[in-house]
Amino acid sequence: MPEKDLALVVGENIAERRRKLGLSQARLAEALDIGKDALSRMEKGVISPKMGRLRAIADALECSVADLFREPDEDSAERLSAIAEAFKRLPVEKQKAVAGIMAELARVMGSEKN
């Protein structure tokens, strides 16, 4: 995978975390005391967040500052793709059950950081 521009990596991570938390751009922008347009440009990698704002962004997105700079590794993407393919073959009710189990497992494993 070619190296991405750092602003694009950070922007993609902000957008992904925001969506996972169910936040709109307007809501996150308001929490960060910035304009929605500025947040949109950040998420697209057009502009980079100011160093002083990184902690506030990470706090609002319930992650570490380091998480904002992480690029997904190819192995992880391949594993996710394989899981997604298997998931798609399940009936909707079983998909819901698997999603609930995975969410709980991620919560438990995430709380065991060490």
What confidence score (pLDDT) does residue 1 get? 38
Place of tokens 């100011």: 50
What confidence score (pLDDT) does residue 23 get? 95
What does the DSSP assignment read for 32-101?
HTS-HHHHHHHHTTSS---GGGHHHHHHHTTS-HHHHTPPPPHHHHHHHHHHHHHHHTS-HHHHHHHHHH
Query: Which residue positions in the chain have pLDDT lower than 70?
Result: 1-4, 73-74, 112-114
Q: Give this prediction's pTM.
A: 0.64
**Under a CB-based contact definition with an 8 Å cutoff, are residues 60 and 28 in contact?**
yes
What confidence score (pLDDT) does residue 78 get? 79
CATH of domain 6-68: 1.10.260.40
What confidence score (pLDDT) does residue 90 get? 93
What confidence score (pLDDT) does residue 112 get? 67
**Under a CB-based contact definition with an 8 Å cutoff, are residues 12 and 45 in contact?**
yes
